[in-house]
Chain A
Amino acid sequence: MRWPERVMGGPLAVATGAVLLTAMLGAVLLWAGGYDPLAAARAAALGAFGTRDALLSITLVRSVPLILTGLAIAVAFRAGVWNVGAEGQLYAGAVAAVWVGLEGGSLPALLLVPAVLGAAGVAGALWALAPALMKLRLGVGEVITTLLMNFVAIYLAAYMVHGPLQEPRGVFPQTGPIAEGARLPVLVPGTRLHVGVVLALVAAAGLSWLFRRTRIGFQMRAVGASSDAARIAGRIDTRKVVLIAFLGSGALAGLAGGVQVAGVTYALYEGLSPGWGYTAIAVALLAALNPIGVLATAVLFGALEAGAAAMQRDAGVPAVWAVAAQSLVILAVLALDRVRHRAGSEASGV
Chain B
Amino acid sequence: MSEADLVLFLEASVRLGVPLALAAMGEAITERSGVINIGLEGSLIAGALGGALAALAFGSAEAGVLGGAAAGVLAALVFAAFAVGLGTDQIITGTAVTLGGLGFTGAVYQARFGATGTALTLPTLAPLPIPGLADIPWLGSALFAQAPTAYLAYLLAPALWYFLFRTEWGLELRAVGENPDAAQAAGVRVRRVRVLATLFGGALAGIAGAHLALAHAGTFAENMSAGRGFIAIAVVALGRWNPPLVLLAALLFGAASALQFLLQAVGVDLPYQLFLAFPYLLTLAALAGWLGRTRAPAALALPWPRRG
Contacts and interface: CB of A to CB of B under 8 A. Distances in A.
Q: Closest 6 interchain pairs by CB?
A: A324-B103, A327-B100, A320-B106, A323-B103, A330-B96, A159-B273
Interface string A148-175: 1111100110110011000000000000
Interface size class of A (residues with CB under 8 A): 35 or more
Classify the secondary structure of B's interface with A.
Answer: helix
Interface stretch (A43-51, A109-117, A120-128, A135-143): A135-143
A337 B88 CA distance: 9
B103 A140 contact: no
A325 B103 CA distance: 8
A84 B107 contact: no
17 contacts: A82-B301, A140-B287, A143-B36, A144-B36, A145-B284, A147-B230, A148-B234, A148-B280, A148-B287, A151-B277, A158-B273, A159-B274, A320-B107, A320-B110, A324-B104, A326-B99, A350-B308
A155 B274 contact: yes
B96 to A, nearest CB: 4
Contact of A334 (B38, B93, B273, B301): B93
A18 B282 CA distance: 41
Contacts of B56: none
B129 interface: no
Contacts of B271: 159, 162-163
A321 B100 CA distance: 9
Contact of A156 (B107, B234, B277): B277
Contact of A328 (B100, B102, B233): B100
A327 B97 contact: yes
B219 interface: no
Contact of B88 (A144, A316, A338): A338
B300 interface: yes
Contact of B99 (A82, A312, A323, A341): A323
Interface stretch (A3-11, A210-218, A261-269, A278-286): A278-286
A282 B280 contact: no
A34 interface: yes
B273 A162 contact: yes
Contact of B107 (A282, A285, A321, A331): A321
Interface in B192-244: 222, 227, 230-231, 233-234, 237
A62 B84 CA distance: 34
B60 interface: no
A323 B91 contact: no
Contacts of A187: none
Contacts of A312: 115
A21 interface: no
Given A140-B288, A152-B280, A322-B103, A282 B86 contact: no
Given A143-B91, A151-B280, A330 B99 contact: yes
Nearest to A322: B103
A236 interface: no
A105 interface: no
Nearest to B296: A141
B185 interface: no
A318 interface: yes
Interface in A294-318: 312, 316, 318
A144 B111 CA distance: 35
Interface of B: 36, 38, 78, 82, 86-89, 91-93, 95-104, 106-107, 110-111, 115, 222, 227, 230-231, 233-234, 237, 271, 273-274, 276-277, 280-281, 283-284, 287-289, 296, 300-301, 307-308
A134 interface: yes
Contact of B106 (A318, A326, A331, A337): A318
Nearest to A32: B111
Nearest to B41: A278
A326 B99 CA distance: 7
Interface of A: 29, 33-34, 82, 84, 130, 134, 138, 140-141, 143-145, 147-152, 155-156, 158-159, 162-163, 278-279, 281-282, 285, 312, 316, 318, 320-328, 330-331, 334-335, 337-338, 341, 350
Contacts of B102: 320, 323
B111 A138 contact: no
Nearest to A330: B96
B100 A147 contact: no
A33 B100 contact: no
B115 A155 contact: no
B281 A152 contact: yes
Given A318-B110, A325-B103, A330-B99, 18 more contacts: A33-B107, A34-B111, A148-B237, A149-B280, A151-B227, A152-B280, A152-B281, A155-B274, A158-B276, A163-B271, A278-B95, A281-B95, A282-B96, A320-B107, A321-B103, A331-B93, A335-B82, A350-B308
Contacts of B101: 327
Nearest to B300: A141
Contacts of B280: 148-149, 151-152, 155
Contacts of A330: 92-93, 95-96, 99
A327 B237 CA distance: 26
A328 to B, nearest CB: 7
A84 B284 contact: no
